[in-house]
C-alpha cells in the first residue's frame, strides 16, 4: 500500500516532495530517503505549479489532480524514458475509467481532442526521482490556459480514477524494462509520421526559433527521431526543445 499524503494547497507537489527528500519535516534524526520510495503527494491546488523548461503550470484546483510520486532512482535514469512511461500510465488510467481516448505529444503532454489535459515533469534529485503529474478535471472557461482542455468527470468517479492512476504509474515504472511499454507510447503518439515544428531556444531569453522537421520515430529510450528538410536525422532528448504539429 502506497503512502498517500493529501493537502488542500501547496506551492507545488514536486517542491513538497523535495522538502521531504531533504528531510526538512523530520526533526528527530530518524529520516531515511529510502523510506519515502512509493510515497505520493497530492494537493487540491498549487500556487506555484511548474512544468517542463521552467514554465508555470496553471493549477486552479476544482476537481483536478496534482500529484508527485517519489521513486527509487532507476538503473537507466533517462528522464525522458520515465516521463514516457508515466504518460502511458496516465493514458491507461483515463482509458480504464472513462470513455476518453487520449494521445501523447512528445514528451510530456497528454491530449484529448487536440487539447492538453495533462502535463508530466520528472526530476532527478539526490537519492530519488520525483515524478509530477497534473491532470485537468472539470475545468472550463478562464480556468483553462489557451490550448488546454479538461476531462469531465462525476465527482464520484474521481477517487476511482485517482486510485487507478496510482496503480498504473507504479505498474509502468516496475515493468520499465518491458519493450511493450514503449510500443504503447508509440501507439498513442500524435506526432509519429507527421510534419512538426521544433521550437529551439534563441539567444534572446524567452525567444524560440521554429525549425520544420518530420517525426520519423521514437527511440527505446524515449528520444524523438526527426528528419530535417535537408535529409539529416537527429535524435532529440528533453533538453531545451518543444514540439508542435506543423
User: Mind listing the domains of the chain with CATH numbers?
Assistant: 4-187 (3.30.930.10), 195-245 (2.30.30.100)
Q: How far apart are CA 215 and CA 233, in angstroms?
A: 10
| Closest-CA residue to 129 (of 218, 36, 29) | 36
Q: What is the pLDDT of residue 29?
A: 58
Q: What is the pLDDT of residue 56?
A: 47
Q: Kindly list the strands in the beta sheet with 195-201, ordered across the sheet, starting from the edge strand earlier in the chain.
A: 233-236, 224-228, 208-218, 195-201, 241-245
Q: How far apart are CA 110 and CA 103, in angstroms?
A: 6
For 223-228, which contacts have Cβ atoms below 8 Å and span 24 or more sequence positions? Answer: 223/80, 224/106, 224/107, 224/191, 226/196, 226/198
Rg of the Cα atoms in the chain: 18
Q: What is the pLDDT of residue 146?
A: 82
Main-chain dihedrals φ then ψ at residue 140, nearest 5 degrees? -155, 165
Low-confidence ranges of the chain (pLDDT < 70): 1, 26-31, 49-62, 76-79, 203-206, 238-240
| Closest-CA residue to 119 (of 52, 168, 40) | 52
76-26-48 Cα angle (round to 5): 65
The 10 Å CB-count burial string (b at 16+, else e) for 19-39 is: ebbeeeeeeeeeeebeebbbb
Q: How far apart are CA 48 and CA 231, in angstroms?
A: 42
Q: How far apart are CA 109 and CA 216, in angstroms?
A: 19
Q: What is the pLDDT of residue 54?
A: 47
Give the global pTM: 0.88
Main-chain dihedrals φ then ψ at residue 23, nearest 5 degrees? 80, 25
Q: What is the pLDDT of residue 53?
A: 43
Amino acid at each position: 500500500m502506497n503512502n498517500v499524503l493529501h493537502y488542500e494547497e501547496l506551492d507545488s507537489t514536486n517542491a513538497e516532495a523535495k522538502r521531504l527528500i531533504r528531510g526538512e519535516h523530520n526533526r528527530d534524526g530518524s529520516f531515511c530517503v529510502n523510506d519515502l520510495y512509493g510515497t505520493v503527494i497530492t494537493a487540491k491546488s498549487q500556487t506555484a505549479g511548474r512544468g517542463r523548461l521552467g514554465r508555470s503550470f496553471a493549477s486552479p484546483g476544482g476537481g483536478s489532480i496534482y500529484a508527485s510520486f517519489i521513486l527509487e532512482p532507476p538503473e537507466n535514469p533517462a528522464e525522458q524514458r520515465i516521463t514516457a512511461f508515466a504518460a502511458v500510465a496516465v493514458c491507461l488510467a483515463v482509458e480504464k475509467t472513462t470513455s476518453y481516448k487520449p494521445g501523447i505529444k512528445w514528451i510530456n503532454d497528454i491530449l484529448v481532442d487536440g487539447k492538453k489535459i495533462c502535463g508530466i515533469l520528472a526530476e532527478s534529485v539526490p537519492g530519488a526521482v520525483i515524478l509530477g503529474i497534473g491532470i485537468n478535471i472539470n475545468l472550463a472557461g478562464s480556468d483553462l490556459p489557451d490550448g488546454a482542455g479538461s476531462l469531465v468527470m462525476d465527482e464520484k468517479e474521481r477517487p476511482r480514477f485517482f486510485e487507478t492512476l496510482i496503480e498504473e504509474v507504479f505498474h509502468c515504472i516496475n515493468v520499465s524494462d518491458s519493450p511493450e511499454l514503449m510500443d504503447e507510447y508509440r501507439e498513442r503518439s500524435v506526432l509519429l509520421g507527421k510534419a512538426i515544428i521544433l521550437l529551439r531556444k534563441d539567444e534572446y531569453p524567452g525567444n524560440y526559433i521554429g525549425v520544420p522537421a518530420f517525426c520519423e520515430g521514437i527511440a527505446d529510450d524515449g528520444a524523438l527521431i526527426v528528419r530535417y528538410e535537408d535529409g539529416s536525422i537527429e535524435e532529440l532528448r528533453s533538453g531545451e526543445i518543444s514540439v508542435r504539429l506543423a
